[in-house]
Structure 1
Amino acid sequence: MTVVLKKPQKSARKPKGDGHMRRGEILAAAEKIFIAEGYAGATIRKIADAVGVSSTALYMHFRDKDQILMEISSGAIERLLDLNTQIASRPVDPVARVRLMLEAYMKFALDNPNTYQLVFCGGGDQISPDKIADVLALGDRCFEKFSEPVHDIAARGRLRSGSPVEAAEVLWSGCHGLVSLLITKPSRGWSNPDQLMKVMLDGLLHGLVTD
């Protein structure tokens, strides 16, 4: 018996006059391809095929795949910065603000697994430092906003160990580690994610902050 291998189907070409292609649709397709193929394996042609446009049409929106990745990264970090800014304005205890920020961060990750894996779990080594500088600066702003209530906790004499910056780094890295594993190792058979996030925050905050 002869086995005929089928070629992967491409998205149907978008008809002319269809408003070209919305940038959001291109970005969503690119996320999946970056994760499946790796940065080196992802090409403009593959992204264009996935959304049903020609490579020429895609170049009308993005000059190269570096720009696509930078826009995905900037968009994700801006959303987190906006969440942190909103939470920072709430008239609540700084420990409560830290907890709310970390909850929002982890929920963002689990609600947007492709974006999170691409932006926060990749090395970004393929992109030149000058191109990624703006994204790194935006990430620093986001971390600084998160660190503000941690500094408030330290100023009140409630930080058990380390400097405010070290405590903020530990809090963030602990939550990052949890959601990264939930996203990249889904077959492990984890407990309920909401409960895991609660236990993580209880352990981190009770360990670092005095009552």
Structure 2
Amino acid sequence: MTLALKKPHKSARKPKGDGHLRRGEILAAAERIFIAEGYAGATIRKIADAVGVSSTALYMHFRDKDQILLEIGDDAIGQLLAVNVDIAHRPIDAVARVRLMLEAYMKFALDNPNTYQLVFCGSRDVISKEKQAATAELGDRCFAEFSGPIHEIAAAGRLRTGSGESAAQVLWAACHGLVALLITMPDRNWAPREELMKVTLDGLLHGLVTD
């Protein structure tokens, strides 16, 4: 009598897609898991399972969790840098450029809450400073583009108080505070987001800049 051999069971895996598409799926899944379970609780196996690939397949795209988190940061800051560079070169008043940059920053945060939490609200001590050096440099470039128009305002004697540098830091910190609260405390009885952003920018810019 001949016995029929059972075919080995295959785990349910997604069909192999284009490399850049699969890479994007991994980053999106990692964002969700980092937020839900923290950096320490997120494992390569959990991320791979969420995407529907083996851990070995995931390692073909990323060498470890650090690289995944750093790429999420680089992509987010790179997008903001591109926006700032575009706005910085527009032939409009410096105050209008600053306002457009801050509006774009807040809208990015609210449209990408998981990314924003990881990149701008998360603890930086989970990855060594050496590994973060390139990301930090990208962040410095992004802030420099944002600060440029504010230094123009200061040089023209239009700041009511502070320096170009302190004004830039306060403007960024205030907008960060608003979007961070909206993202992390969504159940509060907030006014409409567009109104909150407008009131924030009106108050900040009218308070800092003379006509």
TM-score (norm 1): 0.92
Q: Which amino acid aligns with 1:30?
A: A
CA RMSD of aligned residues (A): 1.2
Cα distance in 1 between the residues matched to 2:109 and 2:119? 10
Q: Which amino acid aligns with 1:32?
A: R
Cα distance in 1 between the residues matched to 2:118 and 2:12? 26
Alignment correspondent of 2:169: 169
The alignment status of 1:121 with 2:124, answered yes or no, reads no
Alignment correspondent of 2:150: 150
Q: How many residues align?
A: 200
Alignment correspondent of 1:191: 191
* Identity among equivalent pairs (%): 74
Cα distance change of structure 1 residues 166 and 61 upon mapping to structure 2, 3 Å threshold: same
Structure 2 residue matching 1:22: 3-state secondary structure: helix
Alignment correspondent of 1:70: 70
The alignment status of 1:98 with 2:93, answered yes or no, reads no
Map of 1:10-29 to 2, 5 A cutoff? 12-15=12-15, 17-19=16-18, 22-29=22-29
Q: Which amino acid aligns with 1:88?
A: A
Contiguous gaps of at least 5 residues in structure 2 = 1-10
Q: Which amino acid aligns with 2:118?
A: L
Q: CA deviation at 1:19?
A: 4.2
Q: Which amino acid aligns with 2:30?
A: A
Q: CA deviation at 1:189?
A: 1.7
Contiguous gaps of at least 5 residues in structure 1 = 1-10
Cα distance in 1 between the residues matched to 2:18 and 2:209? 53
Map of 1:25-104 to 2, 5 A cutoff? 25-104=25-104
Cα distance in 2 between the residues matched to 1:30 and 1:88? 33
Q: Which amino acid aligns with 2:96?
A: A
Cα distance in 1 between the residues matched to 2:123 and 2:26? 22
